[in-house]
Structure 1
C-alpha cells in the first residue's frame, strides 16, 4: 500500500492482549521518583498514619480498658437491639440533651474565662455535670472552674458545711442563696470573681459563664449579683433558651447558659424529681409518685397535705383528692391532677428533702429540722475601697507600691484567701476593693435618664396641636407663608415695632381704604391671630431651650445643685421677659427691671 493516508482496517484473529511491549515493562526505581529524604527523613512529605496503638499489646490494653468502663445500663444503643418494643422512647425525657443546647453550652465555655457550675443543695452530686468537668480538665485546663451550691435555704446548716468541705477538695466552692432582696453568699462570690479578674491583668475584662442542670437557679444567681431582674426566670425547667451576656462590673461580665443534662443512666422518675422536665407535660404522673414517697419522710407529707395512714400510692392520692376537693364527675377523685400537684410541690421545694453527705446518713435521720445557713449566719458583704479612681481602676503608683511590699516581705499570702475553702492558690484578698457600687449607680443613672427622655417624647407626641380656622382663597396668603417660615422670640418682638417713624407716606389713603374694604369684614369674623402665632413661636423656642437646659444639667451631674437653681432662675426670667416683649415690643430694648417698672406705671 503506497498511500500513507490509507489504513487497512481488518479484524485479526491473534490474541493481541497477550502481546506485551518491552517499553511498558520497564520498572523505575523508587529513589528515582521520590528520594529517601523526602520519603522517610526529616523533610518527609508523607503523612504518618494516626494509630490508636503502636503495637498489638497496646491495642489489647485499650480494648480491655474500654470494656472495664462499659456499663450496659447507660448504653442507649441497646434499645435498638430489643426484640419487642411497645413504643418509642419519650422525647420529653431527652430535655437538655439536644444538639442546640450543647452548642449553646460550648459557646459559653469557649467565651468564658471562669466557669461557674451551679448545683442544687438538695442533691449536689446528682446535679453535677461530670462530663463537662472532665472536658474542662483535659481540653481547657487554663479555664478556672468554680462550684456554687445554690438553694442552701432548703437544707440544714451542717449539710451545707459538709458539702462545701467535700466539694472544696476538687474545686473552689461557695454556698449561695439566690434572692434579690435577701441573698446569701453574694459577697463571697463577688470577691472570688474579683480575685480572678485581678489574676488576669492582661485582659480588659473577664467573662464568667454559669452552667448546670435545668432549674438549679443559674438565671436567679445572675439577677442576684446584678441586683435587678436582667434574666428571665421561672420555677420551671427550660426557661432560658439561649445564652445571655450581662455586665456586672467594668472588668467582669456574666454569661447565662441554658440547662444541660448529660445522660447518666437516670430513670424517668429521677429526671422528673431533679426538675429537668415540666410536670404538665408528663402523661402518666401517677407512676412517678413512688419516688416522692421514698425520698420524703412521712411526717413532712402529713404536715403538708393534712393526711395520715395511707396504704399505697393510690390510697395516698385519693386521700389528697378528697381532702382538697379535686373530684371528677360522679365524685371520683382526679388522681392525675393530684399526682401533678405532688410532683410540682417536690420540684418547688414545698416538700423537705435532701441527700445526706457521704458518711452522714445516721446524722441526717436525727438532725433533719435544723435551720438553714442563710438564717444562722450573716452574709459577707463586698466593701467598696477608697483606693479606686473615678474610672474604677486602681492608680498605677499604688499598684507599684503594693508589688514592692509583696516582694520585700516574701511571705506566703495563701492565708489571705476568702473563707470559702478555696483550692486556688495565689489569689489575694480583695475584700477591700470593689467597683461594683459605682458601676451600678452609673448604669442606673444612665437608664433613668434614657427612660425620662422617652417619657418626654411620648408626652410631646400626645400633646394636642394648635389648629387654626381655615381662611378664604385669597385672604392672608402672604401672612401664612411668612409665619410658616418661623420666627424667634426677638424677631417676633421686633417685627411688631411701628415702622412709620420719620417716614413720609404719599399714598392715597382714601383710595386704599376703599379698595381694601374686604379686610374690615374679615377682621370682624376672625380673631387677631398675629399675637397667637408669635406666642406659639415663643413657646416652641422656650421648649427647645428647656430641653437643652435639662440635657446640660443631666451631663453636669448631681453635685451641681447651685447651677441648676441659677439656670432655672435665668430660664424663668427669660420666659417672663419674652412674654412681656410680645405684649409690648418697645420693652425689648429695656432691661428686665426697668420693663417691670414701666409695666406697673
Structure 2
C-alpha cells in the first residue's frame, strides 16, 4: 500500500487512509494480462481493448478477396472458442449460421468395400465374384418362377418366421427392471443374508413364489441360510383360505401370516419373535442380516416399515419403486435388507401363460400394458360375478364386452362419435384387480385334491375301526386329523373341539372326587406301573372286549357330554380323556390291556398340572407331598404284593 505522505496534493496532518476495498479496486486497474508458458493469453487484463473471441467472425467484404486470409493460428483460436461455446453448461442466446467447415477438420473418407472385395479379385482374369444368371427370355422367367413356387415351403420362409417371432416376442416392458443390474442386486442380498424372508401375496401365494430362488438356496454354499415365508395382504382374503395356505406351505418352510397396515400390523409380534430366535441361534455372530425377497408389488418395503414402526423404505402402490437394496437396523444385532422385486421366468410353463401370470400379479404397471382389454376375460374368471356387480354398482352383464361398454357409459369415458372407450375402462378394471378393489383369491387345494383327501379319510376311518387303542391314541396325540379338519372343514371337527384339552381338564377338576386311586398313577414312573399291573397280580383276560361294551364300565368325561361314539378316533378320544380311577377299574376288569393303559397314563402324566405336584395353588408343601406319595406307594405295595 502506498505511503500516504508521498502522495501529491494531499494535505498534511490528515489522518484519513484508503480503505481495503479501494486499495483492491485500484490494484485491479493496474493488473496485467495472464499468459501461459507458451505465451498464450489465459486471462485478459481489466478493461482490455482486445475482447475475448466468442467463435464468431465479424462480417467483412474483404474476406472474399485474395488480399486477406485467416492464418492457422486464427483458425485454432476459433476452434477453441467454438468448443467452449458448445459446453453444455453454457447457453447461447442468439446463434447465427457460421462457416464451420473452415474450422472443422474433415474426416478422411475410406471405401470399406475395398477391404471386403479387393479390385483385383472382383474384376480381371483373377476375379472370384459369381456372375448373376439373368434370364432374358419370357419362357425362362416363367419356368424359373414356377420352379420357385413349387419348391416354396411356408415353414422355411424367413420373413414369415421373423413376423411370428416379432408377434410372440416378450414385451420389452415386461422385462423392465429385469436387467443384469437388478439380478445382481438380488444375488447380493442372498449372499449377504443369514435368513431370507420370501414375501408372498396371500391372494395367490403359489404364483408369487419363485422356484429359481429355492433351487439356488439348495446349493452347497447356501445350505446354512434359513428361509421363511410371509403371507402378506391377508386382509384381502378369508381367514380359512389363509389357514389352508399356511398348513400347505408349512410343510416346506415356516410360514407367518402378515398384514402391513399403517396403524397396527397383524403378525408383527410373531415375525419379530422369529427374528430373535434366529439371533439367539447365531450367538457367535455379532449380528445377523435378514433379506426380504419376492415379486414386485407384493409389499416387501411395507412389511419392513410395519416391523420397524415407521417409514424407512419408500413405498408406492406401483411395482418397481425399490431400485437398489437398502440396509435397515431393527436392533443392534438384527439388520433388515430391502431388495428390489425380480420375476424369474417359469421355464416349465407355456410362454403365453407365463406372461399372463406375470401381468395378473401386478408386476407390470398398468400404463405399460398396450392391450389391457385382452386381460378382462382372465380377470372375470378369477373374480366372482357377484363381486363385480357389487363393486361397480351395476345390475347385470352378459360378457366382457357388455361390461366394458356399461362401465364406459357410466364413468363418462366416451370417444369421438359416441363410442365407448373400452381400453381405458379395461385399464381401470385391471388396476382395481391388482390393488384389491375386486376381491379374488386362489384356494390352497383344488377340488380334485379335496376329493382325494376325503377318500383317504374314509380309508383311514375303516382302518381305525380295526386298529388297537394304542395306535388310535398315538394318532390322536399327533393331531393329524385335527389339522386336516381345520383345512377342509371336516364334519367331525366340531365334535372333536368339544373335547379340547383345556376344557376337559377344567371339567375334570371341578367334578372329580379326590381319592387315592385317582392320583396314585401320576406319582410313579412307567417302570413302577409295569410292575403294578403284571398278570401275576391281576389275571388279564386274553380276549379283547369290543368298544361298544366299554360304555358299561368306563365313565366318559362328564355326564353332560352325551355323544354317540362310532368311529375309532372317537373311541381313542374317549379312552384318552377317561378319569384315572375309571382306568384302574377298567384295567382290573380286563377292558383295557396293559399296553394301552401304560400309554394313556404316560400321556396323562405329561399333561399333569404343576399345582398338583405340591407347593403351588393346591396348598401342599414339599413334606406333605412326599408323605402322600409314600402312603400311596404303601397302598400299591399291599395290592401287588411287591416292593415298590
Larger radius of gyration: 2
* TM-score computed with the length of structure 1 as normaliser: 0.46
Greater relative CO, 1 or 2 (CA 8 Å, sep 6+): 1
* TM-score computed with the length of structure 2 as normaliser: 0.43
